[in-house]
Amino acid sequence: MASNYSQKAGLPPGTLTYLGVKPEHDIKISMIDYDESHLEMKVIEETNVLPTYHAKSTVSWINLDGVHNLDLISEIGKIFTIHPLMLEDIANTSHRPKLEEQDEHIFFTLKMLFYDESSAELSSEQVSMVLGKNYLISFQEYEADIFDQVRERIKSGSGRIRGRGADYLVYALVDAVVDSYFEIIEKLEAQVDLLEDRIQFEPDKSDFHQIMKLKKEFANIRRHISPLREALGFFEKSESKLIDVRTKYFFRDVFDHILLASDSLEASRDRLSIILDTFNSTISNRMNQVMKTLTIISTIFIPLTFIAGLYGMNFHYMPELQWKWAYPAVLGLMGIIFIGMIVYLKKRKWM
Amino acid sequence: MASNYSQKAGLPPGTLTYLGVKPEHDIKISMIDYDESHLEMKVIEETNVLPTYHAKSTVSWINLDGVHNLDLISEIGKIFTIHPLMLEDIANTSHRPKLEEQDEHIFFTLKMLFYDESSAELSSEQVSMVLGKNYLISFQEYEADIFDQVRERIKSGSGRIRGRGADYLVYALVDAVVDSYFEIIEKLEAQVDLLEDRIQFEPDKSDFHQIMKLKKEFANIRRHISPLREALGFFEKSESKLIDVRTKYFFRDVFDHILLASDSLEASRDRLSIILDTFNSTISNRMNQVMKTLTIISTIFIPLTFIAGLYGMNFHYMPELQWKWAYPAVLGLMGIIFIGMIVYLKKRKWM
Amino acid sequence: MASNYSQKAGLPPGTLTYLGVKPEHDIKISMIDYDESHLEMKVIEETNVLPTYHAKSTVSWINLDGVHNLDLISEIGKIFTIHPLMLEDIANTSHRPKLEEQDEHIFFTLKMLFYDESSAELSSEQVSMVLGKNYLISFQEYEADIFDQVRERIKSGSGRIRGRGADYLVYALVDAVVDSYFEIIEKLEAQVDLLEDRIQFEPDKSDFHQIMKLKKEFANIRRHISPLREALGFFEKSESKLIDVRTKYFFRDVFDHILLASDSLEASRDRLSIILDTFNSTISNRMNQVMKTLTIISTIFIPLTFIAGLYGMNFHYMPELQWKWAYPAVLGLMGIIFIGMIVYLKKRKWM
Amino acid sequence: MASNYSQKAGLPPGTLTYLGVKPEHDIKISMIDYDESHLEMKVIEETNVLPTYHAKSTVSWINLDGVHNLDLISEIGKIFTIHPLMLEDIANTSHRPKLEEQDEHIFFTLKMLFYDESSAELSSEQVSMVLGKNYLISFQEYEADIFDQVRERIKSGSGRIRGRGADYLVYALVDAVVDSYFEIIEKLEAQVDLLEDRIQFEPDKSDFHQIMKLKKEFANIRRHISPLREALGFFEKSESKLIDVRTKYFFRDVFDHILLASDSLEASRDRLSIILDTFNSTISNRMNQVMKTLTIISTIFIPLTFIAGLYGMNFHYMPELQWKWAYPAVLGLMGIIFIGMIVYLKKRKWM
Amino acid sequence: MASNYSQKAGLPPGTLTYLGVKPEHDIKISMIDYDESHLEMKVIEETNVLPTYHAKSTVSWINLDGVHNLDLISEIGKIFTIHPLMLEDIANTSHRPKLEEQDEHIFFTLKMLFYDESSAELSSEQVSMVLGKNYLISFQEYEADIFDQVRERIKSGSGRIRGRGADYLVYALVDAVVDSYFEIIEKLEAQVDLLEDRIQFEPDKSDFHQIMKLKKEFANIRRHISPLREALGFFEKSESKLIDVRTKYFFRDVFDHILLASDSLEASRDRLSIILDTFNSTISNRMNQVMKTLTIISTIFIPLTFIAGLYGMNFHYMPELQWKWAYPAVLGLMGIIFIGMIVYLKKRKWM
């Protein structure tokens, strides 16, 4: 899981570098151009049609599902006059969520999270957005279906999305991503629920490893959520003309959702730490049972064995050995010791 | 306990979605319309009478005891021109306490907490309020009797409630909810008291589980209280015309109560952690007693058993066996070892 | 120790409720009226003399040593036009330290702490003060002698108290209370000192319980001190005409004292946690000694006992048994094993 | 690792003192003077050529790879009128990262980190920079190759460095240092990865020591990173004319990198603490296995040995000894006890 | 170590009280009066010469090496019109570092720390300073040599001290004290170094006590350093005419030193906590060794002893006893069990 950010060391700032494992697919550029009355959806093959959309007053959403073609990114950068450091941030997929304002653009980056239930692996993908006047360019690492619902809403014209600007589109996309966080958190919560039930009865080593695994995953999600909270806060405070005052209320809403996600995460972490305490206490309790059993057996039989050993000695002059009632007497003595020990142990609540 | 927020994923913002388990009862709309000289209480059957109240200069308190009829909520939204995101927040019952200000409305949401002593279960219900000019619309998930005292006060005209505006009514309702928190905290405190007494004598596994249960419940309450504290702080700072300056002093008071509740909670948590330390120490102390007993018995009898075993050997030429005083001599030696061990163990304070 | 704040639930705000155990004594109203040249001290029987003092330009200090007579408090409230919520706060003795400013009054409440050394119990009493123009009304739960020193200084005219206003009197009273905190902290510190000495030698269960007790008491005191620090900070920042600028320097001084008390408390808590670590380490070290002893005895004698058992077998054909030197040889072998084990254990530093 | 800052005690402020181990090499002064059209690189032998560069409008970067020649530093200080306290900070190599603004200069100091993989040792070197109008003087403790990439970029004219001022050069150098942090963090992350794999199977003492070692190193790096974050924040807020507004965006970028490094560090620390928990749990689990084995063996054989000892007694009147089926009966009894014990232990899941 | 602040309880504010153990020496008043061209050093016998210095435009540094003569302090207070609360703070030696500004004076107090290496005891002494126009009055509890270096610099005229005002003198003294902190921190760091080496091999109880001792001392130093940091911050922000703007840069420098000291302290605390973890782990590891040995010996010999006991039984009809090869067969069986056990234990890595 070591990151590989250091590959960039030694390069001049603004140098585009792709840090991920280079995927094999070509980058698909999809375009949706819309306003209340108009809708155009297509896949763009040649970047030379883009300057047309730059100039239009309709909202143009250009989505790239790959950032490993650096020439392409740099070309788009030129068409829309995006700052070189923004382009660098787009290509560099190990960024933390942040918002950057420049004169003509707002740059926003966050992580999509995916949770594969079969392998119980959490993975993430970086999404970057460049918001300009009347257009939004979004960059994903791979094709993912989280944005499909937004496309659907634009297509069907449901909700208020068609009547608003590109800033509202940013909100809609961020909201879709944040909603997807809840799905993952809830999947993990369900695992915490299961663990909580199981831990009270027969916790074993595998439960411990699952506690640790969940702990790691919650820490992981939190790493993406807390800077995102901060970055989202900037939308509300932003004085950029690119953000409509009506949209700010919506950003405030998605900010509240992130707080809620944060809260759920903290609640799960709290529960996990209670589960860990319970696990440790159960293990230690079981150990105590083991030690008690050892002590009971030893405490009872070691003295008895000594007495038996005593009369197993071969001295010639041991008068007791000749006595007729010696054997039953010794057996009786042993019985008394045995019962005495049991009573003592019961009294101390060790049995 | 997994939340189910993710059901909303993919829906356009402002879509009303009810996330809870759909209760079967119909939603009752109760209305209290009052000023100092006038009082009208009734159950509203048709929403078409509501616009009348919207216009009146008396305070109109409209209470709905259910949020699962989305058509009804949306209709009320239209009558009072409530922002779609506010309506969405009302229907979504997994919100954290918050205050939202809009031009015409202040939206406030918090949780009622209920503690069922027989099952020792903590449950919560969301209450949302929309404060407008001269009216307050409150939404509960179920019918709950916490607000009855406020109704009683309006009816009897006791206190200053009849002479003040709808903002004061918000305060009265929030105050009623916060007061009910104290009841729950005190019930839990009483359990901590009991636990504190019991833990010093015979702590067992069930005590541990109760400590963990209380810990979880305190964490739970805290999750509702800390954002509420924050949200209440906004009332004081609010510059909205909807909040009278005289009412702010009252909000400051309920804010102080929340701080006090917070303090009590922290104190209980501190006590709980001392109880846990004591529990662990007692368990470990008991274990040490067990191990000491094992060591004492072993240390005393193992050497004695060896000596007995020695003279149980069957060699032909063991001159001691023939000696007349050998047996008493060996018994004496064993006695000396026995006493010596006891003295040694007493000196080391293990007995 | 469960609080009983919830008794107030359901009452309209501003309702006077006494939450403590109702003491049996009557409330004594004592009055000191003074300026640089004039001094009048008396016990007031009838509240109808109070309006006279309200109007006077001398400083009037009215002290009530009980808050359970709600009629009386409400009467005084009327005479001095005190806000109903302030009166409620006076009667409610489970408040956290706070300062409230109103047009005509400053309300300040804090806790007196008492430590009974014989029972080692910490108790607290609430003191509330209402500062008005030229007068101060103070409310105690019981008669306590902490304020006697201030009375003495007024009587004797020592210090600058007679030449200053009612705000300086507030300072003098708060200073007296804060100084009394130091007495308690020092008594507890002395116990920490004793514990620190004792813990290194023979810690036992009672030491553990004392550590926990002190921990609880420090947590308790801290609960009163930290909001007080905050509340005192407001005196300095206050822009009320009731607080003379010259007095602010004195409030800054008592604020510094609270910081110092806070520091001492933290230092004691740090020391206590070191004591707890030492305690745990000593207990675990002692346990290790026990286990080592068990291991030493077992390791040495179990193999020897086996050898003895071997030659205690009754087979007919055991040629060694007939040999003349077999017995001494076996004894020698046992001796070698014994010495070998001791050497081995010494080498591993277990003996 | 004790620092040696106290050697300065007793000296007047502004006294140049070199605290490190004095290296033997002479200080090399290298100079790069450039603007977009001009480039001059040389090694300076005599400081008397420096005043010329002071006056020039091209960017002059003077780099010293040693700070142990105090006369030289003081001479340079005079030529560029650097504040004596700045000179003292340059010579004192145990500083924490900081930024100081003076009328004519901005002083910035940070640490280069080096990680020697063969010895697994982390070392650091202080770099100080004095930014003046059109010139930058940088001071390293030893010659290090981190800055070579920047030199290369200046030489080749790649990127925008040749067209910008000395402030951009500061950024480029700081960026180079920060990028080198990632290399180290990633090397340590790789070790954490290895540890994470190994710990689940056969953790041993050496793993514990490596966990502790990494913990120490992460703490060490963090000590350098957190004040650096603070100091870098000042560049953005600075209102000095020495910092061009266009360069601020770049400082914001390197600030983001430091945040990212900080995040990675925290993530590694979290993982390390999970590894430590796993280590401890595994060790304790293994111990439990050991104790269980002891208990199983003892529980089974101690009672059996007692029975054998019983019939090894030498009493004359033990009727069972004469019975024909006594021996097989006792063997059978032992077998039953043996099997019974095994069943019992299996049932309790100890076997 | 209990403080004795409570002796002041009940006294009017501004009452001079000396809280320390009263030293026996007389208070020496030493005076240094200087400007760039002039220097006068003498011991003052009578306070009536002081008013002369009050009026002079040269810098007058009056140092008292004792604060137990309250009459003297009060006399000086009158001469220089020092606020009574400042005088009280001077006499009260249990203050936390702080800065107070008044119209004519700045009061500053901090702690000198002393570390006696032979007894390994940390002690502290309070230094208070009253800065007025052209004069500085400093109060120490005992005569200490930390200020000698500053005296030396004034005498020799080295550095810039003679050319600056009394504010620079304050800086010089504070700087001398802060530098002395480093000496102590480094001495303690050296102990941490030693501990770090020792702990990996043969940690014993005394190491534990040293860890705890160092922990206590670091906590102690921190208690003095953190409020000092705060207080020093005020110098920079101060708008008093008593502080020259040029001197602020120097206060910023000493502020940085305190941050550095703080950092070193934190680093040492981190290292100490790693040492403690290592200690605990080593102890627990050693214990595990002990338990393993016990288990090995028991596991091997308890079954063998049982077999020996079996054939030590005295039944008449035990056919095996008569068989010729029974004895060697049993010996062989024992050998097989012995080797089998060893193999099993080796496999589980317990041997």
Question: Does E298 contact D302 at a Cβ distance shorter than 8 Å?
Answer: no
Q: Which of A122, A290, A342 to mutate to test the interface with D (most CBs of D within 10 A)?
A: A290
Exposure string (b/e) for A311-338, b if CB count within 10 Å is 16 or more?
bbbbbeebebbeeeebbeebeeebeeee
Question: Does D299 contact A294 at a Cβ distance shorter than 8 Å?
Answer: yes
The residue with tokens 């035990």 is: E318
Question: Does A180 contact B293 at a Cβ distance shorter than 8 Å?
Answer: no
- Asked if B143 contacts B151 with a C-beta cutoff of 8 angstroms, the reply is no
Residue that is last in its domain, among A230, A263, A281: A281
Question: Does D223 contact E267 at a Cβ distance shorter than 8 Å?
Answer: yes
Per-residue pLDDT, C9: 65
Per-residue pLDDT, A48: 84
Which residue on chain A is closest to B10 by alpha carbon? A149
pLDDT in tens, A253-262: 899 999 999 9
Per-residue pLDDT, D95: 81
Three-state secondary structure call for residue E24? coil
Residue A264: pLDDT above 70?
yes
pLDDT in tens, C159-179: 788 989 999 999 999 999 999
Question: Does D315 contact A321 at a Cβ distance shorter than 8 Å?
Answer: yes
CATH number, domain at B294? 1.20.58.340
Question: Does B96 contact A278 at a Cβ distance shorter than 8 Å?
Answer: no
- CA-based nearest distance E329→chain C, Å: 11
- CA-based nearest distance D1→chain E, Å: 7
Residues of A in contact with B216 (CB under 8 A): 270-271, 274
Residues D195 and D149 in one domain: yes
Which residue on chain C is closest to E311 by alpha carbon? C313
Q: Which chains contact B through at least 3 pairs of Cβ atoms less than 8 Å apart?
A: A, C
Per-residue pLDDT, A294: 93
Per-residue pLDDT, B91: 86
Question: Does B291 contact C290 at a Cβ distance shorter than 8 Å?
Answer: yes
Give the number of beta-carbon pairs within 8 Å between D and E.
Answer: 155
List the structure tokens of E262.
């703080």
Residues A273 and A297 in one domain: no
The mean predicted confidence, pLDDT, of chain E is 89
From A2, A294, A312, residue closest to D190, measured CB to CB: A2
The pTM of this model reads: 0.87
From C193, C252, C259, residue closest to E96, measured CB to CB: C259
From D160, D172, D317, residue closest to A327, measured CB to CB: D317
**pLDDT averaged per 10 residues in sequence order, chain D, 351 residues:** 59 70 79 91 87 85 89 91 88 86 90 88 91 93 87 86 92 93 92 90 86 93 91 88 89 91 92 93 90 93 95 92 92 96 91 81
Residue A3: pLDDT above 60?
no
Per-residue pLDDT, C8: 64
Residue that is last in its domain, among E281, E298, E316: E281
Separation CA C71–CA A132 (nearest Å): 69
Least confident of A144-158, E3-17, E106-120: E3-17
Q: Which of C306, C322, C330, C350 to mutate to test the interface with E (most CBs of E within 10 A)?
A: C306
From B89, B297, B308, residue closest to A309, measured CB to CB: B308
Per-residue pLDDT, C343: 95
Reference D209, options D227, D223, D221, D191; nearest CA is: D191
Residues E30 and E125 in one domain: yes
Q: Which chains contact D through at least 3 pairs of Cβ atoms less than 8 Å apart?
A: A, E
- CA-based nearest distance D322→chain E, Å: 6
Per-residue pLDDT, A291: 92
Per-residue pLDDT, B102: 83
- Asked if E10 contacts C149 with a C-beta cutoff of 8 angstroms, the reply is yes
Q: Give the domain extent around B133.
A: 5-281
Per-residue pLDDT, A2: 45
Reference A179, options B6, D256, C104; nearest CA is: B6
From A15, A85, A305, residue closest to D306, measured CB to CB: A305
Q: Which chains contact A through at least 3 pairs of Cβ atoms less than 8 Å apart?
A: B, D
Report if residue C174 sits inside a domain.
Answer: yes
Residue that wins the pLDDT comparison between E14 and A161: A161
From D14, D96, D293, residue closest to E259, measured CB to CB: D96
DSSP state of E183: H
Residues B21 and B143 in one domain: yes
Beta strands at C59-64 and C135-139: parallel, antiparallel or unpaired: parallel
- CA-based nearest distance A104→chain D, Å: 14
From A193, A292, A309, residue closest to B290, measured CB to CB: A292
Per-residue pLDDT, D2: 45
Which residue on chain C is closest to E4 by alpha carbon? C186
Residue that is last in its domain, among E241, E261, E281: E281
pLDDT in tens, E81-131: 998 888 888 888 888 899 988 878 999 999 999 998 888 888 999 999 999
Which residue on chain D is closest to E344 by alpha carbon? D293
Residues B88 and B228 in one domain: yes
Per-residue pLDDT, B2: 45
Per-residue pLDDT, D350: 85
Based on the number of CB atoms within 10 Å of its own CB, is A261 exposed (0-12), middle (13-18) or buried (19 or more)? buried
Q: Which of C122, C290, C322, C331 to mutate to test the interface with B (most CBs of B within 10 A)?
A: C290
pLDDT in tens, C12-42: 766 777 766 666 678 889 999 999 889 999 9
Residues D195 and D306 in one domain: no
Specify the number of domains making up chain B. 2
From C270, C302, C316, residue closest to E301, measured CB to CB: C302
Separation CA D254–CA B68 (nearest Å): 51
CATH number, domain at C234? 3.30.460.20
Question: Does A10 contact D249 at a Cβ distance shorter than 8 Å?
Answer: no
Instruction: Work out the pLDDT band at C7, boundaries 50, 70, 90.
Output: low
Per-residue pLDDT, A312: 93
* CB within 8 Å of C39: residues ≥ 6 apart: C32, C33, C154, C155, C157, C162
Helix ranges (DSSP H) in chain E: 50-55, 70-79, 84-91, 148-156, 166-199, 205-237, 245-310, 319-322, 326-347
Beta bridge partners of B126: B111
List the structure tokens of C248.
């602010």
Tally Cβ neighbours within 10 Å of residue D288: 17
From D208, D298, D314, residue closest to E302, measured CB to CB: D298
Q: Which of A313, A330, A344 to mutate to test the interface with B (most CBs of B within 10 A)?
A: A313
Question: Does A311 contact D316 at a Cβ distance shorter than 8 Å?
Answer: no
Residues B171 and B260 in one domain: yes
pLDDT in tens, E189-217: 999 999 998 887 778 888 999 999 999 99
- CA-based nearest distance B296→chain A, Å: 9
Residues B321 and B204 in one domain: no
Residues A111 and A224 in one domain: yes
Per-residue pLDDT, B1: 43
Low-confidence ranges of chain B (pLDDT < 70): 1-11, 13-14, 19-24
Based on the number of CB atoms within 10 Å of its own CB, is B315 exposed (0-12), middle (13-18) or buried (19 or more)? buried
Beta strands at C29-34 and C39-44: parallel, antiparallel or unpaired: antiparallel
Q: What is the mean pLDDT of residues E297-319?
A: 94
Residues C272 and C334 in one domain: no
Question: Does B186 contact C212 at a Cβ distance shorter than 8 Å?
Answer: no
The answer to whether the complex's ipTM is over 0.85 is no
From A3, A297, A308, residue closest to D309, measured CB to CB: A308
Residues B46 and B191 in one domain: yes
Separation CA C180–CA D5 (nearest Å): 43
- CA-based nearest distance A294→chain B, Å: 8
Residues C276 and C296 in one domain: no
Which residue on chain A is closest to B4 by alpha carbon? A186
Which residue on chain D is closest to A304 by alpha carbon? D306
Question: Does D12 contact E153 at a Cβ distance shorter than 8 Å?
Answer: yes
Give the number of beta-carbon pairs within 8 Å between A and D.
Answer: 156
